[in-house]
Amino acid sequence: MIDELIRRSIREMVGGGGPPVAFLSPAGDRGLFGPESIAWKVHADFISMMIGGISSLVLQALHPKALAGVWDHSSFREDLKGRLGRTAFFIAATTYGPNEMANSIINRVNQIHQKVTGLDEFNNPYRADDPNLLAWVHLTETRSFMRSYESYRSETLRPSQKDQYFAEMKMLGQRLGAIDLPDTYADTELTIQQYQPQLHYGDRAKSIISLLEYFPSSLGSRPFVKMISRAGFLNLPNWVYPIIDRPQPGRLERLAMTSAIRLMAIPVREALKDGVAAHSLRRIYGSPL
């Protein structure tokens, strides 16, 4: 009963259905990264990925050109769950999927980006395949996922493992059209900060960030969804809070949220233990490890 409640709450945020059987074949196909990668380890922890997903969307909303593509060409405001679900599937397919699945979805995204053009809220032209915008999206996602994993997963990664993650994800970012991507944790943080002059907290960003802060949910799922959303905001870099007119969270609030998420994560991880990563291991090795 608890497992089903958890799955229902997750579906309210990102959608999803039954077992991911598409990840079971072809036998032996290791995909783009393989199970020894740090990407497999980090992306397998769905609860920290959900938290990182919220914080990455907050950051992305602050770039007028990145936001304009979503504003003009997607149903993000009306179908937040759909947007998160598509992002979650892209991450799953490129991290765990067989090569054909991963390459297919990368090609499809690249084709979509070529068609997304327009003017941002300042009447400046944008293109979704602009390497500068693609790098911003890539950097905010990878930084957010790693930071969330650090905070809410008890397992500690060595500095070399963290750098390995960004080196692995650099390959994916480049295949999506980003250039000059950093391949260490420290350089990723530094590169993100260099985007600050390009950011703007206008009416569009305010509406998107408010939607993420007060994520729509049913009464039964609201405590879970609200906690994930709040944790996403706590996962932001400290320099972002003055930009979005919010106080920097204190140490006690962060500690309380870390404890609450780690406690909540126990049944969540149990409910999702036979997910995409487990199915992908069966594809590669014939049985779960």
Tokens (6 digits) for 48 = 């920290």
Cα–Cα nearest to 168, from 28, 24, 23, 36: 36
- The set of long-range contacts for 222-230, using a CB threshold of 8 Å and a minimum separation of 24, is 224/6, 224/9, 224/264, 225/9, 225/12, 225/13, 227/257, 227/260, 227/261, 227/264, 228/13, 228/47, 228/50, 228/51, 228/54, 229/54, 230/257
Q: How many CB atoms lie within 10 A of CB 193?
A: 10
Query: Is there a contact between 38 and 161 (Cβ–Cβ < 8 Å)?
Result: yes
Q: Give the sign of the dihedral formed by CA 187, CA 146, CA 102, CA 108.
A: negative
Instruction: Read off the tokens for 266.
Output: 């126990």
Per-residue pLDDT of the chain (289 residues; tens, 9 = 90+): 455 555 566 655 555 555 689 999 999 999 999 999 999 999 999 899 999 999 999 999 999 999 999 899 877 766 777 778 888 899 999 999 999 999 999 999 999 999 999 999 999 999 999 999 999 999 999 999 999 999 998 788 999 999 999 999 999 999 999 999 999 999 999 999 999 999 999 999 999 999 999 887 776 677 888 999 999 999 999 999 999 999 999 999 999 999 999 888 888 888 778 889 999 999 999 865 4
Taking a C-beta distance cutoff of 8 angstroms, is the pair 288, 24 a contact?
no
What integer pLDDT is reported at residue 267 of this predicted model? Answer: 83
| pLDDT for res 180 | 94
Residue count (the chain): 289
In which element (H, E) is residue 127 found? strand 125-127
**CB contact at 8 A, 283 and 27:** yes
Q: For residue 71, give Cα distances in angstroms to 58, 208, 216.
A: 14, 9, 19
As a whole number of angstroms, the distance between CA 234 and CA 22 comes to 34
Task: Name every residue whose Cβ is closer than 8 Å to that of residue 247 and which is 6 or more positions away in sequence.
Answer: 241
Q: Among candidates 94, 178, 170, 183, which has minimal Cα distance to 136?
A: 178
CB-CB contact of 139 with 191 (8 Å): yes
Q: Is 138 in contact with 178 (CB distance < 8 Å)?
A: yes
Collapsed DSSP state (helix, strand, coil) of residue 200: coil
Tokens of 190: 């530094």
